[in-house]
Amino acid sequence: MPVEQHYTIVRGDTLAIPLAFTDPSDNTPLDMAGYTIRFTCKTSKFEDDSQAVISKDIVLPVGDTFTLVVEPEDTNSLNAPQSYDYDIQLETPTGEVFTAVEGKLKLEMGATWR
């Protein structure tokens, strides 16, 4: 079952999402080398992934922690405050896919927009 986590970001800001990976059977750290993180953010989770406003696939380096970063350019083109559905999936080197985190990403407008 995915962990539910909600975030708020101001358009054009950086959002860092720390991720730590452990074995659910004994809570020991897992080396995620070769795993792929898929981050997808869209207006509705019922939309096709081609409609995503943010989509990232990142192959993980060696280690059991990683910080997923939503960059300023990822939100600069979004023109209205809105709440988006997002999830973070893990794909193993053998092709198995697991949804690790899901939730809402609330976009707010800031005064500065450069």
Report the distance separating Cα 74 and Cα 13, nearest Å: 9
Residue 41 lies in a domain: yes
Task: Classify 18 as helix, strand or coil.
Answer: strand
Per-residue pLDDT reduced to its tens digit, 48-85: 999 999 999 999 988 888 999 999 999 999 988 999 99
Within a domain: residue 97? yes
Residue type, 110: G
Structure tokens at 40: 């997808």
Task: Give tens-digit pLDDT for 8-35.
Answer: 999 999 999 999 988 888 989 888 999 9
Residue at 114 is within a domain:
no
CATH number for position 63? 2.60.40.10
Give me the pLDDT at residue 22, please: 85
Q: Is residue 91 part of a domain?
A: yes
Cα four-point dihedral sign 50, 54, 56, 73:
positive
Q: What pLDDT score does 4 carry?
A: 96
User: Residue 113 falls within a domain, yes or no?
Assistant: no
Asked if residue 72 belongs to a domain, the reply is yes
Segments forming the whole domain that contains residue 81:
3-108
